[in-house]
Every structure is written in structure tokens, then in C-alpha cells.
A and B are shown apart, each in its own frame.
Chain A
């Protein structure tokens, strides 16, 4: 992989940068025009300095750590439940008959609709956020695993059987790798859902720390600069997970096994 850009790519990059600069300049002009109060629409340097302050004094790190803790526990539970259940559903008709109607009925209910109910049952705090994350992340995990296992080419199964693979080998060497593109997509979608859910759940149910909570708390005190800084942190963490964690996971597994082709640049 080289980093020399063709003139075409260079033009795209240049135009993209120009467009972002234009948007920033427009925002800055409106913010400084005094048309809106500065507390509601702080200029970019103010947002940047707030961002720097909360990053260096550790409060933002604490908020981010609380959010990550909730999201990773809930998401981990969803993976631990979703993948085995999805595999069981695809392999055993009885399990599918039982789980699928329930999943189809629960899936259209947005996870945030459960927040008030969970608050009543479990009180404010971590449990509510973790459960809401779990609820949001389980269905993509479950359904993608289920369709992945079902979509394993029956020819591969018969070929492996003919070559004398036992149940165990069939499962680990054929079914799991065969279903892996779907499972990884499921993991990705589940994390995306989890990340969306945690922000909402924290806004409604957290009471001290968390990125979702800090944005809503900042609204009470008209700290638009803190709000925008937190939005940036939420965006950065989401992006980092999507690109670095899941991108790496994908390269290490399905791309290396040749199950899917890399997207064309």
C-alpha cells in the first residue's frame, strides 16, 4: 500500500477539506454575529478550549470510562447470549420455533421505550443502562448469527462429511467460519445499536457519570460548549470502535479466510 495520491484523489481530498473549512467558517460567522447568544452557540475556539480543559482535568475521561463500562458489559452479554442462541436456532427447529416469534415481537420495540419501565424496576443507575444496551444489541447479534448459520453452503457440509469430519470438526471448521461474515456484521451492528442505546439510556437514567448524561446535564446549565465537546468525544469513540476494533477483527478473520472481498477503495 502506498500513500501517493493520484490527481483525482488529491482533488477529492482538497474539495473535502475545503467543504469542511467552509462549514466551520459559516458556523463561526453565525456564532460571532451575535444573532444567537454565545452560550447557545459558542465559537469554535471556545469549544476547543473546553474540550482541552475537560480532557486534561480527567472529567471527560471519567465520563467516557463510565459509558464504555456500561456499553461493553451490555454488549458482551448480548454477544454471549446472541451467538449461541442464534446457532441453536439455526441448527434446531424447536429452538427456532420458540425464539423467533418472541424475537419478532420484541424487536420492533425501541430499546429506549423500556427505560421508564426499567427505572421503576431497578432504580436509577448502571443496571438500567446495561440492560437497555443488552436489549438493543441482542437482536442484531441473534438474527445475523441465525441467518449466517443457515446460509452456510450445504455443499460444504456434505463435502466435509464425506471427508470424514465429525460433528465437532464440522461445527468449528465449517459452520463457524462459514457463518462468520454474518456474525461479524452482527457484532458490528450490535455495537452500533449499543452505542446509540447507551447515550439515550444514560440521558434518561444515569445520575452521575457518562457521556449521555453529561450532554443532558450541560443543557440545564446552558453549557453548549461542553455539549459540543462531548458530542465530539462520542463521535470519536464510536468511530474508533467501528474502524479500529471491528475493522481489525474483520481483517484478522473473514478477510484473511477469503470469505469476503475487501471493499474497493
Chain B
């Protein structure tokens, strides 16, 4: 067992797999049952009137808020802005993180020089840098995207670095003996060899970016965004809007994990037989 295997447990969302010989409706029921129980408990508490319905709205109100805001186009626009920030920040992080990670993996000088500053800045929670970024770069989109990039860069650096170092020496020597030049070595040996690690790094980086982005949107005074939506709704006690926003945040988080990275993984490392 390696640290990578264990890290995967955290990165990959476990969704109960279908068991052999189980009909589809049983699978649906098995997965829906807990939500029905929790939903029923929620409804009972909400309708008992123990709490103010403004603060603890029944599910039908939350669903109504969700539908109303979606049809208005408000919720999709908030989500769109948030995703745009996430993607811009993450792309910067991927480019910079891969470059630094490869440099550290390939050259001893780069490793020696870059490791101490990276190791010192990485463990501090990304959110703690937020006020500094706001102070230095003002409010709005620029510091938000920069902070997202900064935070998601570290897992990408560490995993790329580990991945490049984990490429087997014998593959490099075999490719060298077969006359591969530097460029071919990189494209055909190092990159595929390091890719399982790199993808894990990107996955962890994106998850961190997502977590910090939602928080920073509450503080950076951006005009649109899901974090801002739920934080702003608090002022007006619109708990139904807040919970609808939280649900959208969960759906996007799940989609990022399931649709983006699992497909990417299936098309690359799984197909190449690097990983089962």
C-alpha cells in the first residue's frame, strides 16, 4: 500500500456499486431509501413548527426556490460565473504546477531550490491567504482567480514531482538504448509514466480549488457566484435560497468528480493499462 492508494480513497467518491444479479429497481430503491428517510425527518421537523419556517423551510419551499431561481436564470448565471472562475484558476494552476513539478522531478537543482519554499507555503490553509490576496490585489475576480490558482497548484506540484520521480529507471534506460531523444523520452516515457500521479494531483487540486472558491466568493465582493448567493441570502433570511444554492454546489462538485475526472482517467491511464 502506498500513500497514493490511500489518497485515492479520499479523492474518489464511493458510490455503491451494483451487485451481481440485482435488478435495476432494487439498486435505485437501495440508494434512494436513505434520502427518503432523511427527507421525511426533515419534513416532520419543518412542519412541527419547532423552528421558524424562515430558518428551517420545508423541502417543498426549497424545491420551489430552486425551480423559481432556475427558471429566472439567476441560479444558472451564478453557477456559470463560479464555474468560469474555477476553470480559469485551475488552468493557471495546472500549467504552473505541471511546469514546476516536472522541473523538480527532472533537475536536482530545481528540486533543491523549489522544495523549501513550496513545502513552507503549501501546508497553510489556502483560505488564510485570502485576506492577503484581497489586500494586495483588490476585490473582485482577479484575487479570487489568483487564490484558486495558488491553492490548487500545490497538489499538482507534489503529485507531478512524485510521478516523474516514480518513472522506472529501467524504462528510461530502455528508451535511451533504443535511441529516444529528449523530446521522445518526455512524450512517450515520462509523461505516460507519471500520468496516474498527475491525474490524482489534478483531482485533488480541483477539489481544493472548489472548496476555497466557494468560501472566497463570500468575501471577495464579486457580483455573481454561488458562494456570494448563499452568503447574500443570509442577510434576507432566505434559507430556502441558501439551501437551493448549497444543493447546486453539491451537484457541481459531484459532476466535476464523476464526469470530468473519471472519463479523463478512463481515456488515458486505464486504457494504457497503467491503472486498473
Q: CB within 8 Å of B: which residues of A? A: 11-12, 15-20, 23, 36, 40-41, 96-117, 119-121, 140, 143-144, 146-147, 181-182, 185, 189, 195-196, 199-200, 203-204, 211-212, 215-216, 218-219, 222, 224, 227-228, 230-231, 234-235, 238-239, 242, 260, 263
Q: How far is the CB of A200 from chain B (nearest CB, A)?
A: 4
Please report the C-alpha to C-alpha distance between residue A96 and residue B15 in the assembled complex, in whole angstroms. Answer: 11
Cβ of B202: which chain A residues have Cβ within 8 Å of it? none
Interface string of B205-228 (1 = CB under 8 A from A): 000001110110011000000110
Q: Which 4 A-B pairs have the closest CB atoms?
A: A108-B253, A15-B112, A112-B215, A110-B211
A215 touches B131 (CB 8 A): yes
Given A19-B116, A104-B14, A218-B131, the answer on whether A242 and B35 have CB atoms closer than 8 Å is: no
Contact of A117 among B32, B125, B214, B239 (CB under 8 A): B239
A105 touches B135 (CB 8 A): no
B128 touches A143 (CB 8 A): no
A109 touches B13 (CB 8 A): no
A116 touches B31 (CB 8 A): no
Contact of A196 among B6, B211, B242 (CB under 8 A): B211
A238 touches B132 (CB 8 A): no
Given A99-B34, A108-B250, A204-B218, the answer on whether A182 and B9 have CB atoms closer than 8 Å is: yes
A219 touches B211 (CB 8 A): no
Q: How far is the CB of A151 from chain B (nearest CB, A)?
A: 8
- What DSSP secondary structure best describes chain A's contact surface? helix
Besides A203-B130, A222-B135, 7 new A-B residue pairs in contact (Cβ under 8 A), listed by A number? A16-B113, A41-B136, A113-B249, A117-B234, A117-B246, A144-B10, A230-B128
- What DSSP secondary structure best describes chain B's contact surface? helix
Contact of A199 among B1, B115, B125 (CB under 8 A): B125
Contact of A15 among B1, B113, B251 (CB under 8 A): B113
B55 touches A102 (CB 8 A): no
Residue B243 at the chain A interface, CB threshold 8 Å: yes
Cβ of A20: which chain B residues have Cβ within 8 Å of it? 116-117, 120
Q: How far is the CB of A20 from chain B (nearest CB, A)?
A: 5
Q: How far is the CB of B233 from chain A (nearest CB, A)?
A: 7
A111 touches B234 (CB 8 A): no
Interface string of B95-117 (1 = CB under 8 A from A): 00000000000001101111111
A116 touches B234 (CB 8 A): yes
Cβ of A101: which chain B residues have Cβ within 8 Å of it? 15-16, 30-32, 34-35
Cβ of A263: which chain B residues have Cβ within 8 Å of it? 3
Q: How far is the CB of A131 from chain B (nearest CB, A)?
A: 14
B256 (CB) vs chain A CBs: closest residue: A108
Q: Could you show 27 A-B contacts with beta carbons less than 8 Å apart?
A: A19-B114, A100-B14, A100-B15, A105-B250, A108-B249, A110-B211, A110-B214, A113-B227, A113-B230, A113-B245, A113-B246, A117-B230, A117-B234, A117-B246, A120-B234, A121-B56, A143-B10, A185-B9, A203-B127, A215-B128, A216-B131, A218-B131, A219-B134, A227-B132, A230-B128, A231-B124, A238-B123
Cβ of A146: which chain B residues have Cβ within 8 Å of it? 14
Given A104-B14, A104-B15, A147-B9, the answer on whether A110 and B210 have CB atoms closer than 8 Å is: yes
B128 touches A212 (CB 8 A): yes
Query: In this complex, which of A111, A116, A231, A235 has the most chain B Cβ atoms within 10 angstroms of its Cβ?
Result: A116
B120 touches A235 (CB 8 A): yes
Residue B257 at the chain A interface, CB threshold 8 Å: yes
Cβ of A234: which chain B residues have Cβ within 8 Å of it? 124-125, 128
Among B29-65, those with CB < 8 Å from A are: 30-35, 37-38, 55-56
Please report the C-alpha to C-alpha distance between residue A230 and residue B30 in the assembled complex, in whole angstroms. Answer: 48
Residue B171 at the chain A interface, CB threshold 8 Å: no
B208 (CB) vs chain A CBs: closest residue: A196
B213 (CB) vs chain A CBs: closest residue: A110
Residue B254 at the chain A interface, CB threshold 8 Å: yes
Query: In this complex, which of A108, A117, A144 has the most chain B Cβ atoms within 10 angstroms of its Cβ?
Result: A108
